[in-house]
Structure 1
Amino acid sequence: MLRTLFTPRWLTLLGVVVAVCVAFAWLGLWQLSVAQDDAFETLQAERDALVEKPLDEVITPHAAFPADGAGHPVVVEGVYDGSRQFLVPDRVLEEQVGYWVVTPLQVTSSEGADAAAIIPVLRGFVADPADADVPPADPVTVHGELAPGESPSLAEEPLPQGQRGTIDLSTLANEWPEALYNGFVFSTQEQPPVTDEALAHVPPPVLQAGDVDWRNLGYALQWWVFAAFAIFMFVKLLHDAARTPPDDRPTVSTAAPTDERIEPHHV
């Protein structure tokens, strides 16, 4: 096959196939980016359409986390319980490793809520645990975005007292006697502000598209299939050409036959 390949005809055809495959691959990647962008824009539009609601209109104590609850703006009134505040280590903010400061909020004034309901609130970030303030037990209104609980920590080493590997709501539900909301709040604003300025604000998670536009994804796969088919056909034709033996049949003369007669010899 290599002898056949390294001929002007097949090298030219190889160049054409490579150019076609590169073009098809680029078209597939373009369609994939369009599929992702369309899904992101749809999700962003849905997020922008959300309006801030009281916490209990989005989620209630003990209820499952709503499918559209992540990132939903909420407002909740209550009192911080600083005695059960904890830090979550190994978190990163602006390339600095530090701790999340999480304080349970006893919900006391949300309409229809259990008077003893409680929800963890991520109040901020510190690089040094000593900088984590304990908020006063005064009424406060917290504005923020709702987030689901995190998976249990897999750390093998025990953490110091007052620290937890993650915001694991299943563990908190077993330790805290109050009715627990199945989520926590990224605090964006407090009224009145009770959190010390030493705590850096932790922005809510960046919006990510969890799905794609299936039509454009199909177009992307179609272009890649075309590229694969072009490669297959080139290899097949090259293989067939390499196996075909050269035409070694003898050459047949095309000259007109002469009309000569052999006259008998008379003695």
Structure 2
Amino acid sequence: MYRFLLTPRWWGINVFVLLAIPFCVFMGSWQLSRFEGRVQDHRKESEQVTTDRHEAARPLRELLPVDKATSGKQATATGRYGRQLLVPDRELDGRRGYYVLTLLRTDGGKALPVVRGWLPGSADAAKAPAAPAGDVTVTGALQASETPGDDGVGAQSGLPSGQTGAISSAALVNLVPYDVYDAWITLDRADSGMKAVPAKAPANSGLDLKAFQNLGYTGEWFVFAGFVVFMWFRLLRREVESARDAEMGLVAAEEQSVTV
């Protein structure tokens, strides 16, 4: 009854199944390893942020340009505070508020955006504490420039005077009359009763949408492998039933000829 398995048609089916199942399992395992790798990167990033907080601060110029290796590092800079801006629609501890951003005019001539703290509610310049006067030395976590649209960062257009949607040199160049570093820092200790803004993880790291896509693809490949096995058994069963029906039909025909 199973001699049909030796036909060329079934040889092709069997070879396809024997190749498809290991391929699906391999691809599923590879996608799973990608997901585990991203989880590991996320864990390392979290541990690195904790480590960076306890490292000695280094001069700003030693950490530029900002990349994954220097993002979150403790940086220090000296200068005088200049123009102050507000960054609306920023969430902290589940509450909506705004950053108080002040430009620090450094000895190098450029200005360093400094997030001095966070306040709850709608952005209000009257509630934002004034920056200290005179020469100051600031210390905080170094961050890369933001891009509008990422992690809730707002667009620049349509905002009132004295506000910016993104903390970046591209957004600030039109708001202040001096060059701005392509980086910013958030103070470890906020000024004047404001809450300190924690450092963000570097872009393109950690558990992002791609990580969960990898996990979804893992399930899909294993489902494909199971589907191949299911279809093979279904074709086998149909072939067996057809062969059985053919044999029964042949026997019936022979019995009818004998009776006649």
Instruction: Judge same fold: TM > 0.5, yes or no.
Output: yes
Matches within 5 A, 1:185-200: 185-189=185-189, 195-197=191-193, 199-200=194-195
What corresponds to 2:95 in structure 1?
96
Distance 2:219 2:84 in 1: 54
Identify the residue that residue 62 of structure 2 maps to in structure 1: 57
Alpha-carbon separation, structure 2, partners of 1:125 and 1:134: 13
Q: Distance in 2 between matches of 1:163 and 1:240?
A: 70
Is the partner of 1:131 in helix, strand or coil?
coil
Matching residue's letter, 2:78: E
Residue 203 of structure 1: aligned partner: 198
Bigger radius of gyration: 1
1:242 paired residue number:
238
Contact 1:44 1:207 in 2 (8 A): no
The answer (yes or no) to whether the contact 2:102–2:115 under 8 Å persists in 1 is yes
Distance in 2, Cα, partners of 1:222 & 1:89? 40
CA distance in 1, matches of 2:75, 2:205: 22
The separation in 1 between residues aligned to 2:113 and 2:156, in whole angstroms, is 21
Q: Distance in 2 between matches of 1:55 and 1:182?
A: 12
In the alignment, what sits opposite 1:149? Answer: 145
Q: What does residue 126 of structure 1 align with?
A: 119
Counterpart of 2:160 in structure 1: which amino acid? P
- Between Structure 1 and Structure 2, the one with more helix by share is 2
Alignment of 1:68-107 (within 5 A): 68-81=69-82, 84-107=83-106
Unaligned runs of 5+ in 1: 1-23, 109-113, 213-217, 254-267
Task: Please give the secondary structure, in 1, of the residue aligned with 2:198.
Answer: coil
Deviations 1:134-164 (A, max 9, x none): 11322222111111112245366x2222112
- Which position in structure 2 is the counterpart of 1:166? 166
How much does 1:175 deviate?
4.5
1:138 matched residue in structure 2: 134
Matched position secondary structure for 2:75: strand
Aligned residue for 2:188, secondary structure, equals strand
Report how many aligned residue pairs link the two structures. 206
Match of 1:36 in 2: 38
- What is the root-mean-square deviation in Å for CA atoms of aligned residues? 3.6
Contact 1:142 1:189 in 2 (8 A): no
Determine the C-alpha separation between the residues in 2 that align with 1:119 and 1:40: 28
Give the superposition deviation at 1:226: 4.9
Q: Is the 8 A contact 1:36 1:209 kept in 2?
A: no
Task: Out of 31-40 and 145-154, give the one that drifted further.
Answer: 31-40
What one-letter code is carried by the residue in structure 2 that aligns with 1:180? V
Structure 2 residue matching 1:106: 3-state secondary structure: strand
Alpha carbons 1:148, 1:182 under 8 Å: kept: yes
CA distance in 2, matches of 1:107, 1:155: 25
139 and 33 in structure 1: CA distance in 2 versus 1, 3 angstrom threshold: same
Q: Distance in 1 between matches of 2:181 and 2:156?
A: 25
CA distance in 1, matches of 2:79, 2:119: 23
In terms of mean alpha carbon deviation, does 29-38 or 242-251 score higher?
29-38
For the 8 Å contact 2:164–2:171, the answer to whether it is kept is: no
Contact preservation (8 Å) 2:43, 2:206: no
Code of the aligned partner of 2:101 = V
User: What is the distance in 2 between the residues matched to 1:143 and 1:86?
Assistant: 19
Unaligned runs of 5+ in 2: 1-24, 149-153, 208-213, 256-260
Superposition deviation, residue 92 in structure 1: 1.0
Task: Please give the TM-score of this superposition, normalised by the length of structure 2.
Answer: 0.64
Secondary structure of the residue aligned to 2:228 is helix
- Percent identical residues: 24
Q: Deviations 1:182-228 (Å, cap 9, x if unpaired)?
A: 111111137xxxx211x22211125787279xxxxx9x978864552
